[in-house]
Structure formats: structure tokens, C-alpha cells
């Protein structure tokens, strides 16, 4: 990975300002509150957030770290160096070590586990992980593949004979795959049905290493812009225009990304796109922020504003969208909080502040934008439900747990 330099800062700044003028519907940094979580963090490379946990990697010192937003406690995960993608689900974080192996750390148990050797680029959701094989120039690619790993059974299954970085949400796995026209398609694998199919075609002539999925929406970058595709409606939307966009991530109603090359000189800042309103918000103004992740109403990113000359001290910042003057307070009730599978739960929105958009993440891979949805949990487990409400003035989120047990024999 290249260090972030600033040797072309003045030239890049002028170009960057010109680019930003062309972006429509941009609000600047007024939607939430920013908090600095770390002091003097060194060479941060990747970030992730899930629930109340923030994770990041760095190439100096202990390589994987966790921060508990509830307690303010930090965990330095010792062991193997981390590189490439970093992803999290609940209290588990996954990464690629410098020995080209996939590891997982569980904060609830303090256990670090080697998942698979000769693999890289992991993502995780529920009891499943996905990753690809290691790649070396000149190697025989007959064993290239995207692999699905079941944490319960510890079984690894090759679901595609392709080298690509996959992403997972619920029972959906997506990745890029080259077609006969030297462009790249996006494919989907359904874990429930074991069916594979192409969902959309991009115009990119190079593989994109970063794509993300939430519910039925896939996001990626193509020729410097962010795109999203709704699997249910089969509709593709270009989110940005005439910018240099990188590192898109999605959760609920929001897509976050970096404008400006994260790993070279020049300005870079974090932006957020609100899907329901087709509105873009500039989150940072430091010109030194990159690598965002989003969960609920919280965005995390790295920023080297405290070391602008060399950009070696890259601290972690949290942008809380719930800390606004909108008086929005997300809340909801359910007719039950536990029961046997299949469990039908009727959710009722009780939020304050007159929201006009609702995004429910039921914790099992399904979502809804109804105000008062009914959802059926088909299998046993503890599911974290997240309701995010929004209106023109802001947004807020609320979490709750639904416990589902198997029907007794």
C-alpha cells in the first residue's frame, strides 16, 4: 500500500475544488457531530463499524484495533499483521494477515481464529464468511475461486471459479466478474437456493476491488463514480458525476464514500448520499479524510489532519448523524421480543420528531422501509433489529434484540 503523500497538494486542491462545484444537491457538514476517537494513531489503513464497535487496521504497532463506543474502552488485537479489507459483524471482525490468511477475532470471547490459509479479502455476515484465494502473478489460476465459509460447520465451499473480492449481506454474496467484452459484470450467489446469476453489467474496463451490499442494493465505483443497483427493481443509479470516488460503503438509506485518491497526494474528503432524497452531504472538510464505513446513524473514517505534512498519524473519527437539531428520536416496539421459530413480529414505529422515511434492518438479512412492518424470523438466533428514521432535518437510529429459539422436540 502506498503512503498518503501531499507532494502534489496544491495542484490537486485546485482540481478538486473544480470537481466539487459540479456536484448537485450537496449540503456541507451540517447533519451531525464529529468526535475524534484516537490520538496519534499510526498509518491507519482500513475501518469498519458494527453496532457499538469501531474497528481499524494500521501498519505500525498492533495491527487490528477495536473501540467500544459505549464504554470508551479500546482493545488492541495482537497477533498477525492485517492488510486489505476489514469487515465486521456484531462483535466479530475479519481481516487478511500478512501471511495471506484469513483471521477472525471475537470480542465477546477474546479468541483469535485462523479461518483459512491461502485466502484473502474476507467479509462476514451472521454465520457466514466469504473471501477469495490468494493471487500471484504467473500462478496457475485453475484454482481461483470465491469461497463461502460456514462458521457453524467450519465447512468451506467454492461458489465461483473466479478471483474477485466478494461482499455479503444476509444470504446474498456479490462480486465482479469479467465478461467477453473485457468489461465487468456483477454476479450474485443466493446461499438459500445455491443459485448464481448476473445482476448487472458495468462499463468498467478494470475490476473494482471495493463493492458493498445492503439488503437488495449493491454499490460500487466505476470510472471514478459511485453507482448503486437495486436487485429487486433491477434499476441502476449513478450516484456521483465527474468526481474521483473511492471506497463506497452502504447501510440502510446511506452510501458513504471518499472523493479524492486515498493513497496518493491531493485532497480527499468523506461524502454521504441519502438514497431516499437523492441528496449528497459533505461530511468532512479537512481535505485529509478517507476510508469511511457506516452503520445505522454513525460513520467512521481515518483522517490525517493532525499530521498534514506526512499523513502518517491517521486518527479515527466518528461522525454521529443522530446528534442534530432535528429533534428526531428513533424508537419502536414489537408485539413480542422472543419466541420459537418461525416467529412473527409486528413492529410499531413510536419515533418522535415527525420522520418521513423508515429503514428497518431485521438482523437476518431482510430490510423494510414500511413504517410498521411485520417480519417473520425463520430460524433460531439472536437478531439485532435497527430502525433508522429520517426527515429533511436529520436522522436517528434505535437498536433492539429479538431472540428466536428452535421449537422443542
| CATH label of the domain that carries residue 395 | 2.60.40.10
List C-alpha distances in Å: 127 to 88, 120, 344.
Answer: 12, 18, 22
pLDDT single digits (tens) 355-381: 888 989 898 989 999 999 999 999 999
**Count of domains forming the chain:** 2
Mean pLDDT, residues 49-78 taken together? 89
Domain termination site, one of 320, 344, 368: 320
pLDDT single digits (tens) 322-337: 865 557 788 999 999 9
Residue 408 has pLDDT above 90, yes or no: no
- What is the pLDDT, as a whole number, of residue 17? 31
Are residue 218 and residue 354 in the same domain, yes or no?
no
Are residue 305 and residue 398 in the same domain, yes or no?
no
Mean pLDDT, residues 46-58 taken together? 94
End-to-end CA distance of the chain: 54
Mean pLDDT, residues 139-154 taken together? 88
Are residue 173 and residue 203 in the same domain, yes or no?
yes
Domain termination site, one of 286, 320, 354: 320
Range of the domain at 343: 332-405
pLDDT single digits (tens) 274-292: 998 888 888 998 999 999 9
Mean pLDDT, residues 19-29 taken together? 33
List C-alpha distances in Å: 61 to 64, 82, 303.
Answer: 9, 11, 18
Three-state SS sequence of 290-310: EEEEEECCEEEEEECCCCCCC
pLDDT single digits (tens) 167-220: 999 999 999 999 988 899 999 999 999 999 999 999 887 776 689 999 999 999
- What is the pLDDT, as a whole number, of residue 121? 93
Question: What's the pTM value of the predicted model, to 2 decimals?
Answer: 0.78
Amino acid at each position: 500500500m502506498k503512503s498518503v503523500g501531499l507532494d502534489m497538494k496544491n495542484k490537486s486542491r485546485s482540481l478538486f475544488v473544480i470537481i466539487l462545484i459540479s456536484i448537485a444537491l450537496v449540503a456541507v457538514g451540517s447533519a451531525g457531530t464529529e468526535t475524534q476517537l484516537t490520538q496519534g494513531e499510526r498509518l491507519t489503513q482500513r475501518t469498519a463499524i458494527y453496532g457499538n464497535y469501531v474497528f481499524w487496521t494500521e501498519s505500525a504497532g498492533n495491527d487490528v484495533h477495536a473501540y467500544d463506543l459505549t464504554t470508551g474502552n479500546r482493545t488492541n488485537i495482537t497477533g498477525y499483521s492485517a492488510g486489505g479489507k476489514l469487515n465486521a459483524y456484531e462483535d466479530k471482525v475479519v481481516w487478511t494477515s500478512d501471511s495471506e490468511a484469513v483471521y477472525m477475532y471475537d470480542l465477546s470471547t477474546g479468541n483469535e481464529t485462523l479461518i483459512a490459509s491461502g485466502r484473502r479479502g474476507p467479509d462476514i455476515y451472521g454465520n457466514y464468511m466469504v473471501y477469495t484465494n490468494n493471487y500471484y502473478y504467473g500462478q496457475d489460476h485453475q484454482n481461483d475461486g470465491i469461497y463461502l465459509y460456514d462458521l457453524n460447520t467450519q465447512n468451506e465451499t467454492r461458489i465461483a471459479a473466479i478471483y474477485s473480492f466478494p461482499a455479503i449481506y444476509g444470504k446474498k454474496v456479490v462480486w465482479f466478474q469479467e465478461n467477453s467484452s473485457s468489461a465487468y459484470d456483477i454476479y450474485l450467489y443466493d446461499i438459500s437456493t445455491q443459485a448464481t446469476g448476473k445482476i448487472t453489467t458495468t462499463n468498467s474496463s478494470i475490476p473494482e476491488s471495493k463493492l458493498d451490499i445492503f439488503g437488495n442494493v449493491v454499490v460500487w465505483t466505476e470510472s471514478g463514480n459511485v453507482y448503486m443497483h437495486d436487485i429487486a427493481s433491477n434499476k441502476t443509479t449513478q450516484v456521483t458525476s465527474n468526481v474521483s470516488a473511492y471506497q463506497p460503503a452502504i447501510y440502510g438509506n446511506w452510501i458513504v464514500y471518499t472523493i479524492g485518491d486515498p493513497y496518493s497526494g491531493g485532497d480527499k474528503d468523506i461524502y454521504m448520499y441519502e438514497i431516499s432524497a437523492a441528496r449528497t452531504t459533505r461530511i468532512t472538510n479537512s481535505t485529509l479524510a478517507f476510508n469511511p464505513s457506516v452503520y445505522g446513524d454513525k460513520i467512521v473514517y481515518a483522517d490525517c489532519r493532525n499530521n498534514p505534512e506526512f499523513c502518517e498519524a491517521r486518527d479515527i473519527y466518528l461522525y454521529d448523524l443522530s446528534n442534530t437539531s432535528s429533534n428526531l428520536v428513533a424508537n419502536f416496539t414489537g408485539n413480542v421480543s422472543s419466541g420459537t421459530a418461525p416467529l412473527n413480529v409486528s413492529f410499531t414505529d413510536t419515533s418522535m420528531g415527525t420522520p418521513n422515511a423508515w429503514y428497518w434492518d431485521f438482523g437476518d438479512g431482510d430490510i423494510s422501509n414500511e413504517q410498521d412492518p411485520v417480519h417473520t424470523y425463520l430460524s433460531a438466533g439472536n437478531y439485532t433489529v435497527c430502525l433508522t428514521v429520517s426527515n429533511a432535518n436529520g436522522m436517528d437510529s434505535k437498536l433492539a434484540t429479538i431472540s428466536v429459539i428452535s421449537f422443542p422436540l
